[in-house]
Structure 1
Amino acid sequence: MSLIELEYTDVAELRGPLAVVRGVSGVGWDEFAVIRPASGGVRHGLVLEADRDLAVVQVLEGTAGMAPGGSRVTFTGSPLRVPVGPGWLGRVCGGRGQPLDGGPAVSGTLTAPVNGLALNPTRRMPPAEPVLTGVSAIDLLTTLVRGQKIALFSSAGLPHLELAAQIAAQAHAAGEPFSVVFAAMGLTHADAAAVRDTLETRSAAGELVLLLNLADDPVIERLLTPRIALTVAEHLAFSMGRHVLVVMADMTSYCEALREVSAVRGEIPARRAYPGYLYSDLACLYERCGRVRGLPGSLTLLPVLTMPAGDVTHPVPDLTGYITEGQIVLSPEIPGYPPIDPLASLSRLMRGGVGAGRTRPEHMDLAAQLLAALARARQAGELAELVGASALSLADRRYLDFAAAFTRELADQRGDETRSLEETFRRAWCVVSVLPRRELTMLGREALDAGYRPAGAGGEGQPSADGEEP
């Protein structure tokens, strides 16, 4: 950075959120800029392109009310940096980090560039140990693992934001230091208020960082929100030794903002008018999570996205699925709350975070048995629609009873209900005990002897101990 900051006044053009400055020298890509319009005030920007004596500056607050003549631009000589440290905990800020809770601006002794870097693969440790959310359908069947990146796929009209806020409010790391960074993008004022209410307790406890980018905020700010969130989270995890969960909702809003900026820049569009670098842009965000060899803490990432028209082949969910290590899928066909489709959901790293010493020894086998039984129940339900339930075999009817018990006792859960792991497993064993014991071929004898609840032994509507009909 030069000791003398030069101020440029030749703003040649304003185009959407972009300002073209002429006559510059020594300006580089991603450099931070300070803009002082003739109308007064201060705005901030980032250099998107620098070619010869031209610089294209992305104005974070937008260019509304600005005029080319009289605007002054100063380049700082370094990328955008934000303070990092414990000063963020318990704060509610806007998408650029500006306070929304009435407190002073966040400060710290250290700063870090917001773009950051993906973790070095040679320094990565395999994700291990669970992040428990208090949501039975997730903790049992698609367990989050510390250091994992797993996406929440949803469709318009489904309660994905409510579920994301519930996870952020309830998640913990079994007594170890834990924090949540919630980056909200493109929310309405009503949704933002609901998120703040849900997370109020965690925020008051100093365990939450909340960044809110609203739908009427400058669209360019939306591109900055997840980067600031990850920069703050990286310091909390890898320098302060905390286990951090970063929730980013809604990544579809982020990608639409990226598409809008790309169009303003005149870039050649790719699939569905998204820029051709959408995959690499998302990867630069998602790959900043994980566990680092030799450093304490972990960074777990939960991006939330809505699939337009429920289309899983849309570029945003399609590319996200390639980068992440699993997905939790919400479906309008699933009754109750949360409407998680267990057969469409998957946690590829679940095996590394569950089992003896972590959750329960029978965790993987019990989850596999429940999913196999749900698949069989779905087949039985489709058959019942064709021939009628009365024409089904006794075994098929029992599987339909199992599916009803699964929804009623295990999957359905209030939005303010936190279930312990012990309660989740108790409910799971009650549900699986609806089936005859002979059908539970994925569970070992020792696990069945300990957990199976036949009729007359504390179960409700379960078959007899030998698995035959009473």
Structure 2
Amino acid sequence: MQIEYLGLSEINGSFVVLENIEGIGYEELVKFKIGGKQKTGRVLEIDGNKAVVQVFEGTDDFSLSNTSAVFTGKPMEIRLSEEILGRIFDGAGRPIDGLGEIYPEKYADVNGKPINPVSRVYPRNFIQTGVSSIDGLATLIRGQKLPIFSGNGLPHDQLAAQIVRQASLGEGNDEKFAIVFAAMGVKHDVADFFRREFENSGAIGRAVMFLNLANDPVVERIITPRAALTVAEYLAYEKDMNVLVVLTDMTSYAEALREISSSKGEIPSRKGYPGYLYSELASLYERAGIVAGSKGSVTQVPILTMPNDDITHPVPDLTGYITEGQIVLERSLYQKGINPPVNVLPSLSRLMKDGIGEGYTREDHPDLANQIFSSYAHVNDVRALASVIGEDELSSLDKAYMEFGKIFEARYLNQGPYENRSIMETINLGWEILGYLPKVELDRVRTEYLDKYYVPHGKQKDEEDK
């Protein structure tokens, strides 16, 4: 039997304190009534017969004497059904697309359950994003968590929209595929951009969107990624879909944690973030994976902005410990007009080697990627030398590397927002650009692949003929 408690003992920002409470639990959902309105909260702390509850919609109209509370006896849940595909929700999982409520097949706790490590299956197959710098050099593997490290003002929103529009399991694959997209703390114009892009491209038909706006309650921002991942787990493990989850911006999520922690009077850690930031991020990222006995998978692409482009900031730093690689957007490339401005040298996908090559993409893909990394790294050395002695004083080989670097950035990295390249187009383009280097310089590729795929270009072709 549910008991209705009348009156509060304390109101502090979005927190309220109730006394003489019995039989409640952490994360339990609480419903408040005040002046004919109903609001929702969750239990954050329990101290004897006292409970600290965080109110989602704010406490501006609460009073100590006339506010009533009912503890529901269960955590916050989200309605789940296959009807959820194609729908748009707010940060707490309430429909905002005007299509009515979801008729639920089941209810699920948004906090989820940890995946038993013993039941995890090692990720193998790749997911095609249609973006060459990702597919070719930092390949996304099913069940992986591969974050994008960006900075304020860089086009990570456009890259996120492009990935959602173009992502697939590859040509000829008939497995079921879905996308769950969650935006946290975004401005209205950014939310409208995502909504318009997905609706106009038709991607919304296979997607579920969660939009938490900058003026929405901070506590809702904590719920948004959990609700999104709960939907993803349902589609993956109960409906056998391969699900790609795109979360933006995880820095907004971390800042919401910091604000809530400060309101609770907790002792801060680095940069004012709570000491449990690592475990909070891990509780989200570790919900990616493949479970034995299920045909589905949950793959995560969290996007985060690095304050002052500082990769040692707590949010990217801790994210790097938990995830399997990163894709780094570079401001200097963006200023040169290259979009998406992916800096491939600090970018990597630690699971890439197990999901590319023969039987997955093409047999020459691993060697090709290694060679492009090696050659582009040498380009940076040559550019540093040219800045000292001048480009005219470079050797003919160094000039070839300079040309290779320009072509690589202009044609391989630079890609239109609606240009969708297949994995084969990306691999062939890589070989075409390597043709600007002498064959003898390609020492990371096996001879049989060189003989089969290498085609010299321009001066290199003349030298080959000689």
Partner residue, 2:17: 20
1:58 Cα deviation from its structure 2 partner: 0.9
Partner residue, 1:458: none
Counterpart residue identity of residue 318, structure 1? D
Separation in 2, partners of 1:165, 1:415: 9
Output one character per residue of 1:228-253: Cα deviation in whole Å (capped at 9) or x when no partner. 00000001011111100000000000
**Structure 2: runs of 5+ lacking an equivalent:** none
With normalisation by structure 1, the TM-score equals 0.96
Matched, 1:294 2:275: no
Matched, 1:354 2:334: no
- For residue 454 of structure 1, give the secondary structure of its aligned residue in structure 2: coil
Contact map agreement 1:213 1:222 (CA 8 A) in 2: yes
Q: 1:202 to 1:300 in 2, by over 3 A?
A: farther
Partner residue, 2:81: 85
1:297 Cα deviation from its structure 2 partner: 0.7
Contact map agreement 1:179 1:207 (CA 8 A) in 2: yes
Separation in 1, partners of 2:381, 2:153: 27
Counterpart residue identity of residue 281, structure 1? E
Counterpart residue identity of residue 148, structure 2? L
Counterpart residue identity of residue 446, structure 1? E
1:284 Cα deviation from its structure 2 partner: 0.5
Q: 1:171 to 1:140 in 2, by over 3 A?
A: same
Separation in 2, partners of 1:14, 1:151: 38
1:425 Cα deviation from its structure 2 partner: 1.6
Output one character per residue of 1:29-54: Cα deviation in whole Å (capped at 9) or x when no partner. 111111112x2211111100111111
Q: How does 1:8-157 map to 2 (within 5 A)?
A: 8-37=5-34, 39-157=35-153
Contact map agreement 2:164 2:203 (CA 8 A) in 1: no
Separation in 2, partners of 1:106, 1:201: 23
Contact map agreement 2:148 2:326 (CA 8 A) in 1: yes
Partner residue, 1:166: 162
Q: How does 1:367-406 map to 2 (within 5 A)?
A: 367-406=369-408
1:204 Cα deviation from its structure 2 partner: 5.9
1:117 Cα deviation from its structure 2 partner: 2.0
Separation in 1, partners of 2:214, 2:157: 15
- For residue 441 of structure 1, give the secondary structure of its aligned residue in structure 2: coil
Contact map agreement 2:437 2:456 (CA 8 A) in 1: no
1:88 Cα deviation from its structure 2 partner: 1.3
1:206 Cα deviation from its structure 2 partner: 2.3
Contact map agreement 2:133 2:344 (CA 8 A) in 1: yes
Counterpart residue identity of residue 145, structure 1? I
- For residue 112 of structure 1, give the secondary structure of its aligned residue in structure 2: strand
**Structure 1 vs Structure 2: percent identity of aligned residues?**
46
Separation in 2, partners of 1:348, 1:462: 36
Partner residue, 2:451: 449
Separation in 2, partners of 1:258, 1:54: 22
Aligned-pair Cα RMSD in Å:
1.3
Contact map agreement 1:12 1:21 (CA 8 A) in 2: yes
Contact map agreement 1:402 1:435 (CA 8 A) in 2: yes
Counterpart residue identity of residue 23, structure 1? N
Separation in 2, partners of 1:412, 1:462: 24
Q: 1:239 to 1:465 in 2, by over 3 A?
A: farther
Partner residue, 2:323: 324
Contact map agreement 2:435 2:460 (CA 8 A) in 1: yes
Partner residue, 1:366: 368
The number of equivalent residue pairs is: 460
- For residue 341 of structure 1, give the secondary structure of its aligned residue in structure 2: strand
Q: 1:462 to 1:85 in 2, by over 3 A?
A: farther
**Structure 1: runs of 5+ lacking an equivalent:** 456-460
1:145 Cα deviation from its structure 2 partner: 0.1
